[in-house]
Amino acid sequence: MMPIASVSLFFAVLAAGGAVSPLAEAVAKESPFACDRLALDPAARRRHFEELGPTLRDMRQAVRELPDGYEFEFPADPRTVALVAEWAAGERLCCPFFDIQLRLEKEHGPLWLRLTGRPGTKEFIQIDAAPWIKQ
């Protein structure tokens, strides 16, 4: 049996008259909706989940619920910005289905980490990252 993504790709190519359409390319590039537990080596995994995650949860100042995910507020000092950026780089490797955005507000405002994505992402965050959401 052909996976759903392959079927979608097949029909997208047919609709384009045999040529690969932008839709077909997008379907072909989409990662599985799953964490890649092998994306980080043991030391990086330990740093990401046992050091950075708990540190950032403690530094988090606010949480905003979004239609397709969540946004987390942090102080915008250089150390925190570096820690959030390091965490985001690691998270991008192990959970490539996330759309991750870092935003620094003007006039020395806060840093916002936004995690969104395709349907199901918000529910994934609610289950897998519940401690991040609780205030």
List, for residues 94-119, the tens digit of each pLDDT value. Answer: 999 999 999 999 999 999 999 999 99
Tokens of residue 120, six digits: 């199901």
Strand partners, 104: 111
* C-alpha Rg value of the chain to the nearest Å: 18
For residue 105, being part of any structural domain is answered with yes
Nearest alpha-carbon partner for 133 in 52, 48, 62, 80: 62
State how many domains the chain has: 2
Q: List the structure tokens of 29.
A: 């590039």
Clarify whether residues 88 and 51 are in a common domain: yes
Residue 101 lies in a domain: yes
Determine the Cα–Cα distance for residues 33 and 99; give it in Å rounded to an integer.
Answer: 12
Same domain for 95 and 64, yes or no, is yes
Cβ-contact 42, 65 below 8 angstroms: no
pTM (2 decimals)?
0.76
